[in-house]
Amino acid sequence: MDTTKLKVGQKVLMQSGNQFKEAVVSAVSENCIEVEPVVVNERGYAIQFDKSGKKQLGSWDDPRPSCGEGCKPWELVETVGEPTPEDET
Protein backbone atom coordinates (compact mmCIF):
# COMPACT_ATOMS: atom_id res chain seq x y z
CA MET A 1 0.00 0.00 0.00
CA ASP A 2 1.30 3.46 -0.91
CA THR A 3 0.96 5.43 2.32
CA THR A 4 2.64 8.56 0.94
CA LYS A 5 -0.64 9.89 -0.48
CA LEU A 6 -2.90 9.25 2.51
CA LYS A 7 -4.99 12.20 3.70
CA VAL A 8 -6.96 12.86 6.86
CA GLY A 9 -10.52 11.62 6.39
CA GLN A 10 -9.58 8.91 3.92
CA LYS A 11 -10.90 5.41 4.56
CA VAL A 12 -8.39 2.55 4.70
CA LEU A 13 -8.50 -1.16 5.40
CA MET A 14 -6.35 -2.66 8.13
CA GLN A 15 -5.60 -6.34 8.66
CA SER A 16 -4.63 -8.62 11.53
CA GLY A 17 -4.25 -12.26 10.49
CA ASN A 18 -7.49 -13.20 8.74
CA GLN A 19 -9.47 -10.23 10.12
CA PHE A 20 -10.04 -6.93 8.31
CA LYS A 21 -11.44 -3.65 9.68
CA GLU A 22 -12.23 -0.35 8.02
CA ALA A 23 -10.62 2.73 9.56
CA VAL A 24 -10.43 6.45 8.89
CA VAL A 25 -7.12 8.33 8.75
CA SER A 26 -7.22 10.83 11.63
CA ALA A 27 -3.65 12.23 11.39
CA VAL A 28 -0.66 12.09 9.05
CA SER A 29 2.72 13.34 10.21
CA GLU A 30 6.31 13.08 9.09
CA ASN A 31 6.79 10.00 11.27
CA CYS A 32 3.47 8.20 11.46
CA ILE A 33 -0.10 7.66 10.32
CA GLU A 34 -2.93 7.54 12.86
CA VAL A 35 -6.22 5.80 12.09
CA GLU A 36 -9.49 5.33 13.96
CA PRO A 37 -11.26 2.00 13.37
CA VAL A 38 -14.86 2.31 12.14
CA VAL A 39 -16.60 -0.14 14.44
CA VAL A 40 -19.87 0.14 16.35
CA ASN A 41 -19.27 0.82 20.06
CA GLU A 42 -15.51 1.33 19.59
CA ARG A 43 -15.34 5.13 19.50
CA GLY A 44 -12.33 7.14 20.47
CA TYR A 45 -9.84 4.38 19.71
CA ALA A 46 -6.80 5.20 17.55
CA ILE A 47 -3.81 3.22 16.27
CA GLN A 48 -0.56 4.78 15.07
CA PHE A 49 1.51 3.12 12.35
CA ASP A 50 4.94 3.93 10.95
CA LYS A 51 4.98 5.63 7.55
CA SER A 52 5.00 2.27 5.74
CA GLY A 53 1.73 1.27 7.43
CA LYS A 54 3.23 -2.10 8.32
CA LYS A 55 4.44 -1.51 11.88
CA GLN A 56 2.03 -0.63 14.68
CA LEU A 57 3.62 2.04 16.91
CA GLY A 58 0.97 2.31 19.57
CA SER A 59 -2.70 2.52 20.38
CA TRP A 60 -4.79 4.67 22.66
CA ASP A 61 -8.08 4.37 24.50
CA ASP A 62 -10.26 1.33 24.93
CA PRO A 63 -11.99 -0.77 23.79
CA ARG A 64 -9.34 -2.06 21.39
CA PRO A 65 -10.42 -3.93 18.25
CA SER A 66 -9.77 -7.62 18.67
CA CYS A 67 -6.99 -9.07 16.56
CA GLY A 68 -7.31 -11.81 13.97
CA GLU A 69 -5.98 -15.35 13.85
CA GLY A 70 -2.61 -15.64 15.59
CA CYS A 71 -3.10 -12.19 17.19
CA LYS A 72 -0.86 -10.60 14.58
CA PRO A 73 -0.39 -6.83 14.89
CA TRP A 74 -2.66 -4.65 12.76
CA GLU A 75 -1.25 -3.20 9.53
CA LEU A 76 -2.68 -0.97 6.80
CA VAL A 77 -3.36 -2.92 3.61
CA GLU A 78 -5.32 -0.72 1.19
CA THR A 79 -7.32 2.44 0.72
CA VAL A 80 -11.08 2.21 0.55
CA GLY A 81 -11.70 5.54 -1.17
CA GLU A 82 -10.71 9.14 -1.56
CA PRO A 83 -11.44 11.67 1.19
CA THR A 84 -14.57 13.74 0.69
CA PRO A 85 -14.22 17.52 0.18
CA GLU A 86 -15.55 18.07 3.73
CA ASP A 87 -12.77 15.85 5.13
CA GLU A 88 -10.05 17.89 3.42
CA THR A 89 -10.94 21.17 5.13
- The secondary structure of residue 55, as a DSSP letter, is S
| pLDDT score, position 18 | 87
Instruction: Note whether 5 and 13 are within 8 A (CB).
Output: no
**pLDDT tens, residue by residue, 20-74:** 889 999 999 988 999 988 865 455 678 888 988 888 887 665 556 667 777 788 8
Instruction: Note whether 75 and 35 are within 8 A (CB).
Output: no
Instruction: Note whether 49 and 57 are within 8 A (CB).
Output: yes
Q: Beta strands 11-16 and 19-28: pairing type?
A: antiparallel
**pLDDT tens, residue by residue, 59-89:** 665 556 667 777 788 889 988 766 555 544 4
